[in-house]
Structure 1
Amino acid sequence: MTGELPEYYFRVRENGAVVFRIDTENRQRRIDMDQIAVINIRNGEVKPHGGRDLSETDMQTIRDWMDARQALLAKRDIDDIHRAVDYLNLTTQWAQSKASEEQLEDVTDALLLAMHDLRSVLVRKKADRLMKEHKDK
């Protein structure tokens, strides 16, 4: 490894991470990872590991990581939605130009129900936004 290691390491897991403090200042010059906390990104909970007290530096580093992680996840969510729009377009092209009758029979009902459900939600949400906008004026 080249360069200097960070002071903290966050092992990502479902809904959060396990937080380790990195130590290379030991006699063997090996990397020691000391678990200091478990965090839940959804509810903001930080659980110190092993009854330890987290320093203000620990807490600030954890809060900064959580903020950055939430921003990354939000960015990924919207990217996934843009990708879904592309898939819908590709699916339309496939259905129009490449799909066999058997393939269409296999997916048509599922696609129609999913699209109907999505359309219902989008129309309702759009109406809610328009009503709110109208009330705010």
Structure 2
Amino acid sequence: MSSELPEYYFRVRENGAFVFRVDTSNRQRRIEMDQIASLNIRNGEIKPHGQRELSDEDIRVIREWMEARREILAERDIDDIHRAVDHLNLTAHWAQTRATDEQLEHVTDDLLLAMHDLRTVLVRKKADRLTKRP
């Protein structure tokens, strides 16, 4: 752990974060975290906590964190999709080599419907992209 703490702490929640100012300048050298805002990643909203007014520096740091967080979440989305492709390949191998008739009976309809739905969306999106090209 580094000896110097950051000035701000972001407690991640589903749609954003709570923002705290970190303070260790008290006499006991205890870490105090004072909530200064909450934020919503999806719509970019920043709400000051209570009657607090955020400084320009607070807003700048929060906006920088939001942009970095959006990039992390976008990277995770793509990674999840690549993992899904891997799982589809592993599922095909499992179905071909190890699955029992009972196991296949249990999952086949759900898999076929999910794959049909995915294929329909992908084909439609691909067609949309192709028709938009100059």
User: TM-score if structure 2 supplies the norm length?
Assistant: 0.98
Amino acid at match of 2:56: E
Structure 2 partner of 1:36: 36
Structure 1 partner of 2:72: 72
Amino acid at match of 1:102: E
Structure 2 partner of 1:109: 109
Residue 82 (structure 1) aligned with residue 82 (structure 2): yes
Amino acid at match of 1:120: T
Q: In the aligned structure 1, how far is the partner of 2:98 from the partner of 2:66? A: 45
Note the residue ranges of structure 1 that are not aligned, 5 or more in a row.
Answer: none
Match of 1:27, SS state, is: coil
Note the residue ranges of structure 2 that are not aligned, 5 or more in a row.
Answer: none
| CA RMSD after TM alignment | 0.7
| Count of equivalent residues | 134
Match of 1:51, SS state, is: coil
Match of 1:11, SS state, is: strand
* CA displacement, residues 68-125 of structure 1 (integer Å, 9 cap, x when unaligned): 0000000000000000000000000000000000000000000000000000000000
- Mapping of 1:39-54 within 5 angstroms? 39-54=39-54
Structure 1 partner of 2:122: 122
Match of 2:26, SS state, is: coil
Q: Shift in Å at residue 50 of structure 1? A: 1.2
Q: Shift in Å at residue 22 of structure 1? A: 0.3
Q: Shift in Å at residue 3 of structure 1? A: 1.8
Q: In the aligned structure 2, how far is the partner of 1:69 from the partner of 1:2? A: 22
Structure 2 partner of 1:132: 132
Q: In the aligned structure 2, how far is the partner of 1:116 from the partner of 1:82? A: 19
Q: Shift in Å at residue 2 of structure 1? A: 3.6
